[in-house]
Amino acid sequence: MDHETPLGYLIAAACVVVSTIAAVLMFGSWRMSPAAVAATAVTEERARALSDLLLEAAGRGTFMGLDIGGSLSKLVIVDPGSGSAKSALMAKILAFVTGRAEFGQTGRRDEHLELRLDEGVVVHLVRFQTRRMAGALALAKEQLRAAVHAAPAASGIGAGELGELNCTGGGARKFEASFAERAGLRLRAHDELTCLVRGLTSLLRHGGGTSEAFTVDPDDGSRAPLAMAGPGVDVYPLVLVNVGSGVSIVLVEGPGTWRRVSGTPIGGGTFFGLTNMLTGLTSFDTMLELAARGDHTRVNLTVGDIYGEGESVYGLRPDHIAANFGKPLAETRHPTDAVAGARDGRDDVAASGGAAAGDAAAAAGVGEQDGSEAADDGGAAGFLPDGRFRASQEDVCAATLVLVTDQVAQAAVLTARQHGVRRVLFAGSFLRHGGGSDAPHRRLSWAVSAWSGGRSQAAFLRREGYYGALGALLVGGEAAGRE
């Protein structure tokens, strides 16, 4: 069903977001003060295969890594292969994980993404919605206690303390007590960006020949593999843009060196929040699916709307956006707007009561879906008799998506330009939503090319979401080796 969005609500929301964008862009040339730049050095990886690093970690008892995000939690489990000894706990967990593809209501094992490396090492990847953490902990407790009963007495696994799990993400601290109380597990928290970069660079460097990165054609959505390792491939430096609820922008200068150089609060949380407030939708996946079918130019004001479709002005093409959510200001006014126009003079308002009635009707329509007035799919946007601007849910979703992705891309391009980097790599939970929708990827690809004049290229990651969990496992395994 289409949604008719109140004009005042649209303009107010757009103004708030534009004000936020302006505040974010007022960092001068994107140079943060020394105190604001978080500089971190990651332990340099040895020139060995990823399978060796994982086998070494598993030999120290570290064969799982967890990344608890705001919406999704990701779990990496390593099977060291038939040639390696497995503890009773490891064997029990691996049998449970590989014996099914679904866990509870939202748990899924991504079989098509699992890593098969040298020496028979297999990396299994499991995800579930963080809001289902209580159920996940109940399942973990059940399986771990079963492992206790199956383990020899000499294994050292007791019923009170079932071990330690290396973890990253915001939930590493938030759920620490819940893991201890409900599953008898200690969470060992590791820095989020450290784990993300470590997991990513490990796969880029040691990924066993698999293609981790790809580009997306903004016109038809086709994907092409992008070489990120091998002879003659100059991978670093690169700009890594982690798009979650907000955005962190990281300069990765090599496998062992990175620093957070910028960021913006306009991210996936902005897209979800604005879309929810404007349409009433509550599913991230649905929002992105509708955005893929929508036409943002029915809501956004383009350069072509102002100067004509055949004109380019100040280097801006006609399809560039002049004003997000600005279409209502350029649309032909409905005859009833003559009453609304009198509001500025306050002359006829009291006598007619028309403007007040219109305002009341608009206020009553906020967040509602009125089927009697809804536009047909693909119908032209415009004003309704009560003064509201009619826009379908698809078009509103597309407009909010474009607003967010364009600002993220512009911040990424400015950062890349500042540091002399051409390659821009996008990561983060925002790109995992959508039920297969490639709408964010296509728009980011378009925007990076447009804002950089073709000098920078957007790239995306095949195993999006799992790099932090893999990094937590590797960092945790190294820490165990130093203890």
Domain ranges of the chain: 1-30+213-330+382-461, 49-190+474-482, 332-366
> What is the reported pLDDT for 357?
40
Rounded CA-CA distance 313/192 in Å is: 42
Question: Can you say whether residue 323 is alpha, beta or left, with left for phi > 0 and alpha for psi between -120 and 50 degrees?
Answer: beta
Rounded CA-CA distance 55/35 in Å is: 39
Question: Can you say whether residue 227 is alpha, beta or left, with left for phi > 0 and alpha for psi between -120 and 50 degrees?
Answer: beta
Q: Of the candidates 77, 86, 150, 146, which has an alpha carbon nearest to the alpha carbon of residue 107?
A: 77
Query: Which residue type does 288 have?
Result: L
Which CATH class, in words, describes the domain spanning 49-190+474-482?
alpha beta
> What is the reported pLDDT for 17?
42
Q: What three-state secondary structure class fits 51?
A: helix
Report residue 246 as tokens: 């907000």
Chain segment 108-139, per-residue pLDDT in tens: 999 998 988 888 899 999 999 898 999 999 88
* DSSP code, position 26: T
Report residue 301 as tokens: 């004001």
Report residue 481 as tokens: 């080796």
pLDDT by residue for the chain (483 residues), tens only, comes to 444 444 444 434 444 444 343 333 333 333 333 333 333 333 334 345 788 889 988 888 889 999 998 888 999 999 998 777 787 778 888 999 999 999 988 899 999 989 888 888 999 999 998 989 999 998 888 877 776 666 554 444 443 334 789 999 989 999 999 999 988 889 999 999 999 999 998 888 775 455 788 999 999 999 998 887 666 678 889 999 999 889 999 999 988 899 999 999 999 999 999 999 999 999 888 999 999 999 999 999 999 888 887 767 777 888 889 999 999 887 765 545 554 554 444 333 333 333 334 433 333 333 334 333 333 444 567 787 777 788 999 999 999 999 999 999 999 999 999 999 999 999 988 887 655 678 999 999 999 998 898 999 999 998 888 999 999 999 999 887 776
- List CB contacts of 425: < 8 A, sequence separation 6 or more: 213, 238, 239, 240, 241, 459, 460, 461
Rounded CA-CA distance 14/400 in Å is: 9
User: Diameter of the chain by CA atoms?
Assistant: 90
Place of tokens 């009561």: 353
Report residue 35 as tokens: 């105190």
Cβ pair 115, 210 in contact under 8 A:
yes
- List CB contacts of 341: < 8 A, sequence separation 6 or more: none
Q: Of the candidates 8, 1, 16, which has an alpha carbon nearest to the alpha carbon of residue 403?
A: 16
The DSSP bridge partners found for residue 259 are 39, 251
Rounded CA-CA distance 447/444 in Å is: 5
Q: Of the candidates 96, 148, 97, which has an alpha carbon nearest to the alpha carbon of residue 126?
A: 97
Rounded CA-CA distance 63/147 in Å is: 15
Rounded CA-CA distance 52/199 in Å is: 15
- List CB contacts of 177: < 8 A, sequence separation 6 or more: none
Rounded CA-CA distance 166/242 in Å is: 21
Question: How far apart, in Å, are the Cα atoms of 299 and each of 183, 322, 361?
Answer: 49, 11, 21
Provide the whole-model pTM.
Answer: 0.76
Rounded CA-CA distance 392/295 in Å is: 9
Q: Out of 3.30.300.90, 3.30.420.40, 3.30.70.980, 3.40.190.10, which CATH number does the structure's domain 1-30+213-330+382-461 have?
A: 3.30.420.40
Q: State the sign of the Cα–Cα–Cα–Cα dihedral 145, 147, 152, 155.
A: negative
The DSSP bridge partners found for residue 263 are 248
Place of tokens 């953490």: 133
Cβ pair 223, 237 in contact under 8 A:
no
Cβ pair 358, 364 in contact under 8 A:
no
Query: Which residue type does 394 have?
Result: E
- The CA R_g of the chain, rounded to the nearest whole Å, is 26
Domains 1-30+213-330+382-461 and 49-190+474-482 share a fold: yes
- The secondary element (H helix, E strand) that includes residue 453 is none
Q: What three-state secondary structure class fits 417?
A: helix
Residues 247-275 as b or e (16 or more Cβ within 10 Å = b): bbbbbbeebebbebbbbbebbbbbbbebb
Angle, alpha carbons 150-153-155 (nearest 5°): 85
> What is the reported pLDDT for 424?
95
